[in-house]
Amino acid sequence: MIRYDADQAAAYRAKLLDRVQADVRDCYQCGNCTAGCPAAFTFDYMPNQVMRMLQVGLVDQVLDSKAIQLCVQCLTCTARCPRNIDIAGIFEDLKTIATAQERGVPEHVKTFNEAFMGAVARFGQLPELYMMAMFYLGTMNPKMAMADAGLAIPMVIKGKMQFVPRKAKGADEVSRIYKKTMDKAKAREKSEAKARAESLKANVAGGSAAAQKGEVPA
Amino acid sequence: MSLAYYPGCSLRHSSAEFDRSTRRVLAVLGVEYEDVPDWTCCGSTPAHMMDHLLAQALAARNLRQASEVGDELLAPCPSCYQREKNAEIEIHKSDEFRAEVNEVLDKPYTGHVVVYALPEFLIKFVGEEKIASSVKTDLSQLRVVPYYGCLLGRPSELTGECDNEQPMMMDLILQAAGVDVKWWNYKTECCGASVGMPKMEIQRRLSGKILDQALAAGADAIVVCCPLCHVNLDLKQAQINHYLGTNYEVPILYLSQVLGLALGLSADDVMLNKNVVDPEPLVKKAIAAAEAISAEEQRKAAEKAAKSAAREKAADVEAKS
């Protein structure tokens, strides 16, 4: 059974209003975002479905979905939305929230992002070959590495590969920025989750107290 | 004006030809610039997919470094451009946000650096007239479609383009350079770059469509201005063919390479040898065809002049007699 959650809907509407300046309530389900989305054929929920799910508070399903992870951030949906909702911005923000909540996200997007940022934090500038190696190690899927191994040949022939990564001068600062910001985001999500759990507890307690008195909770 | 140049990670190795040809073109057009001292990665797609503050802070670090050179920053890679531009707009708009960003930086960013992409910079600071008057090589027989991808056109409020669906800056520059620009409907379709590695099906399908549509529009080559579009269409063209069962062989050129050729730079100057699908035969053929046409036109004009001279002479003789 699908349970709609008005509390979650209100909480995430406020959160997205604050962070992306986009109101999910504006969506009237015209489907323009889905029609123009080049990656929707790999999604589990279409962009307009995601918008509806946010409206009714099915936030956990959205945060665990493939859709927000596989969004290519081409911004076509945002450009074409007749209600001027920044849909790609919402997808981006939900992705960052899923990251900060340390959810086990589907597909290899998280592996890629972590390989990329890990390499950048270590060397300051992106060492492409090193990043690719870390990514394929992270996926634990030799098939994927084999599919792209063919790319190495033209890259080597054309002299487009840097074999030994070099540390750029600002690398230490980059690594500090990476750590500080991710710690901050994780702490924020933890404290929000805690506050939400407490208010839920208080509601339940209040509800049962009211029930004992014979009142119907609103 | 002192211009800071931000090459970005891709331009160091995997798209060295974009870097070299851009620098050569700037030199020919008389644009002076200095590299951003000790620049680091802009964070690209992964940073803003992980955390907003992380993305803006990484970009702000580069804005701070650029402010040591000047108040204008040229970022040829559209991915870098979007990240830096995004940070520029948000930080300059809100002092509160600037403080939040400065909290995670080692040294605060206090400047006002404005970020430009390559087409935008060329249109604004060099101009079509200057480009047209500097053309040395006739490329009128080179049939191309300009491919903007996602980041150069969208959102138009940010990029300064006239329209989300029909950006024009690359068209205008190529036309000024005398190239035969074809009209097509896939200017801003996504090539699938940001999930190209974790989810290759998306990239194969989207990039395949772009190659197909370029040929349908009557183009022999696609002109791009983005290292990621270039990797997807050029380096991965063989993989696309393998996945879709096609046999495309479409050269993918950088805007700066085509512009450089038109401005009289050689194939080596713009590093045509670095492209995986070899563009040299096509470029040579187009230049030879244009030369043949202009030779033919000259011959015809000379013939016409000779004929009219002969006619005048005959008329003179007639008048005298």
Find residue B74's DSSP bridge partners: B5, B116
* Higher per-residue confidence, A108 vs B227: B227
Does residue B158 share a domain with residue B39?
Answer: no
Give yes or no for residue A139 having a pLDDT over 60: yes
Average pLDDT over residues B91-120: 93
Answer whether B239 touches A (CB < 8 Å): yes
Instruction: Let me know if residue B319 belongs to a domain.
Output: no
- Domain final residue pick, A54, A89, A104: A104
Does residue A21 share a domain with residue A69?
Answer: yes
- Three-state secondary structure call for residue B253: strand
Helix or strand run (H / E) with residue B221: strand B221-224
Most A-contacting residue of B50, B229, B237 (CB-CB within 10 A), to test interface: B50
| Chain B residues 277-306 with a CB less than 8 Å from chain A | none
A218 confidence band (pLDDT: 50, 70, 90): very low
Answer whether A92 touches B (CB < 8 Å): yes
Residue A80's domain spans which residues? Answer: 6-104
Q: What pLDDT score does A157 carry? A: 81
Give the pLDDT confidence of B186-235 residue by residue, as tens digits. 998 888 776 666 677 888 888 999 999 999 999 999 999 999 899 889 98
Give the mean pLDDT of chain A: 84
Average pLDDT over residues B27-50: 91
Non-local (6+) Cβ contacts of A127 within 8 A are A119, A162, A165, A166
Q: Do A177 and B45 lie within an 8 Å CB cutoff?
A: no
Give yes or no for residue A17 having a pLDDT over 90: no
| Chain A residues 32-71 with a CB less than 8 Å from chain B | 38-39, 41-42, 70
CA-to-CA separations, A136 to A65, A121, A142, A184, B156, in angstroms, rounded: 23, 18, 7, 28, 36
Give the pLDDT confidence of B245-301 residue by residue, as tens digits. 999 999 999 999 999 999 999 999 999 998 999 999 999 999 999 999 999 999 999
Give yes or no for residue A59 having a pLDDT over 60: yes
How near does any CA of chain B get to the CA of A27, in Å? 19
Q: B-chain residues within 8 Å CB-CB of A144? A: 200
Instruction: Let me know if residue A130 belongs to a domain.
Output: yes
Instruction: Let me know if residue B34 belongs to a domain.
Output: yes
The number of distinct structural domains making up chain A is 2
Q: What are phi and psi of B254, to 5 degrees?
A: -80, 150
Give yes or no for residue B6 having a pLDDT over 80: yes
Q: How many CA atoms lie within 13 A of B5 on its CB side?
A: 16
Does residue A139 share a domain with residue A49?
Answer: no
Q: What is the DSSP letter of B232?
A: I
Does residue A164 share a domain with residue A150?
Answer: yes
Q: What pLDDT score does A113 carry? A: 85
Alpha carbon B288 to its chain centroid, in Å, reads 24
Does residue B193 share a domain with residue B84?
Answer: no
CA-to-CA separations, B198 to A112, A118, B104, B191, B203, in angstroms, rounded: 6, 16, 30, 14, 10
Residue type (1 letter), A129: L
Answer whether B235 touches A (CB < 8 Å): yes
Is the pTM above the cut of 0.90? Answer: no
Answer whether B30 touches A (CB < 8 Å): no
How near does any CA of chain A get to the CA of B291, in Å? 30
Does residue A127 share a domain with residue A140?
Answer: yes
Q: What pLDDT score does A121 carry? A: 87
Question: What's A50's domain CATH number?
Answer: 1.10.1060.10
Does residue A95 share a domain with residue A146?
Answer: no
Find residue B175's DSSP bridge partners: none
> Which of these ranges, A136-140, B173-177, B193-197, has the smallest mean pLDDT?
B193-197
Q: Do B199 and A108 lie within an 8 Å CB cutoff?
A: yes
Q: What pLDDT score does A206 carry? A: 65
Question: What's B30's domain CATH number?
Answer: 1.20.1050.140
Q: What pLDDT score does A207 carry? A: 58
Answer whether A135 touches B (CB < 8 Å): yes
Average pLDDT over residues B71-83: 93
Answer whether B38 touches A (CB < 8 Å): yes
Between A112, A160, A168, which is nearest B16 by CB?
Answer: A160
Between A76, A99, A160, which is nearest B14 by CB?
Answer: A160
Answer whether B193 touches A (CB < 8 Å): yes
Most A-contacting residue of B11, B35, B197 (CB-CB within 10 A), to test interface: B197
Answer whether B167 touches A (CB < 8 Å): no
Does residue B279 share a domain with residue B137?
Answer: yes
Average pLDDT over residues A70-79: 89
Average pLDDT over residues A4-28: 88
